[in-house]
Amino acid sequence: MSYKNFPMVSKVVFGRGSFNQLNEILAPKRLSMNAPFIYLIDDVFKNNQWLTSRIPLAYDDKIVFISTKEEPKTSQVDELVEGIILTTKELPSGIIGIGGGSVLDLAKAVSIMLTNEGEAKDYQGWDLVKNAAVYHVGIPTISGTGAEVSRTTVLLGPDKKLGINSDFTPFDQVILDSELTKGVPTDQWFYTGMDCYIHCIESLKGTYLNTFSETYGTMALELCKEIFLDNNLTAIESEEKLMMASWHGGMSIAYSQVGVAHAMSYPLAYLLGIKHGVGNCIVFDHLEEFYPEGVKLFKTMKKKHNITIPQGICADLSDEDFDKMINIALNLVPLWENALGKNWKQIITPKKLKELYQKM
Ligand code: NAD
Ligand code: ZN
């Protein structure tokens, strides 16, 4: 048996207001006056002086605002990289992503593609990246995906939604300042928070479970229960705890895998453009059979926060559409194997998947 040897995020700052330390963190990393820092920032912050006035721009540093209406695409990464190469005198000193999973993933992918030939789609998969990425920093503004800590950057490519999984993907530096998450709308807070909850359930109930994953997953799950079920937390406590739940949930799946909800929600993103957090919720709501206790608790949390999950999203799909989604889902072999064991194909047939999708 050969065990995986994973890199982790090299440096992390945690604390309310730690975003103010950005300049002191970045300054030693500036390679030259001609090598700028490029900030990729969720465009929800475009007119947000509270955040943007604290970005320490100097020399040729630049802010690029990113729309997160759609999930990140390989073509979007290629365009951003081309834009950076054409407008900078030297390779950037660093790429800084400020936003949710979408922007964090874009920052990781752009930093990789600045030093690797070809197109981003060529690197979707495991360990295809050859050269170390440009220094990259992740600053989450919404918590749950674990993208700040993971070894992957999930992208929609021309023919699949798949991560660039590599030793060069994790951030060199992460800044966890929970104050940045204070403006997240309730529905989105729930959907992205549930991504974390579902990571925990899928990891803890999976056949790949080991003590490394279990300890992180258990911790994250306890935090999720406090955040989404207790009435005693202040807003600040809740924001800080969700930030750490996201981190631990991400660490839990690093050494195991996700499961049925992720395998079924990836095709919803690919074919219907349904975003990850809400997509996972749509699917998980119907997975009692696989995760009875996890789904029961999910429904309790949903009710407590008065969250509506979109219904009938598969109502108008053709047989061809169903076949496409089923094919994409069934190709995610490690996810099924983790969820259901080596004989997963006997449990999850195309017919079974179609029946499940038809409920959504
Ligand atoms: P997101 O990044 O798309 O953000 C969701 C919404 O919240 C957006 O509309 C955004 O503008 C808004 N938002 C973010 N911060 C805000 C703030 N402080 N105030 C107000 N609004 C704010 O969503 P997400 O759920 O964080 O990330 C989803 C993406 O993450 C997907 O593309 C998914 O594939 C990816 N993902 C990656 C990993 C990984 O390990 N790399 C893991 C899970 C998910
Ligand atoms: Zn997820």
CA–centroid distance, residue 145 to ligand 2 (Å): 5
Which residues belong to CATH 1.20.1090.10 in the chain?
A: 186-358
- Nearest alpha carbon to residue 222 among 255, 191, 200, 250: 200
Residue nearest to atom 11 of ligand 1 (CA): 44
**Which ligand 1 atom sits closest to the C-alpha of 44?**
11
Give the integer Cα–Cα distance in Å for 142 and 176. 10
CA–centroid distance, residue 276 to ligand 2 (Å): 7
Q: Where are the alpha helices (DSSP H) in the chain?
A: 22-26, 49-52, 74-87, 101-113, 186-204, 211-229, 235-254, 260-272, 276-284, 292-304, 319-330, 333-340, 344-347, 350-358
Residue nearest to atom 28 of ligand 1 (CA): 101
Class level of CATH domain 186-358: mainly alpha
Give the integer Cα–Cα distance in Å for 338 and 257. 6
CA–centroid distance, residue 236 to ligand 1 (Å): 20
Specify the CATH number of the domain 11-181: 3.40.50.1970
**Which ligand 1 atom sits closest to the C-alpha of 191?**
25
Ligand 1 neighbours, Cβ below 6 Å, are 42, 44, 68, 71-72, 99-103, 105, 141-142, 144-147, 150, 152-154, 180-181, 183-184, 188, 192, 195, 275-277
Instruction: Match 């005693």 to its residue by tokens.
Output: 232
3 state SS of 99: strand
* Tens of pLDDT, residue by residue, the chain (360 residues): 788 899 999 999 999 999 999 999 999 999 999 999 999 999 999 999 999 999 999 999 999 999 999 999 999 999 999 999 999 999 999 999 999 999 999 999 999 999 999 999 999 999 999 999 999 999 999 999 999 999 999 999 998 888 999 999 999 999 999 999 999 999 999 999 999 999 999 999 999 999 999 999 999 999 999 999 998 999 999 999 999 999 999 999 998 999 999 999 999 999 999 999 999 999 999 999 999 999 999 999 999 999 999 999 999 999 999 999 999 999 999 999 999 999 999 999 999 999 999 999
Give the integer Cα–Cα distance in Å for 147 and 254. 11
Residue-wise burial string across 156-189, b where 16 or more C-beta atoms lie within 10 A, e elsewhere: bbeebbbbbbbebbbbbbbbbbbbbbeebeebbb
Query: Residue 45: what pLDDT?
Result: 98
- Nearest alpha carbon to residue 195 among 163, 218, 220, 178: 220
Classify the complex by whether its ipTM is higher than 0.85, answering yes or no.
yes
Crossing angle of helices 292-304 and 276-284, in 10° steps, is 120
Which residues belong to CATH 3.40.50.1970 in the chain?
A: 11-181
CA–centroid distance, residue 285 to ligand 2 (Å): 15
Task: Among 105, 242, 281, 332, say which to mutate for ligand 1: greatest number of ligand atoms within 8 Å of CB.
Answer: 105
Give the integer Cα–Cα distance in Å for 163 and 157. 9
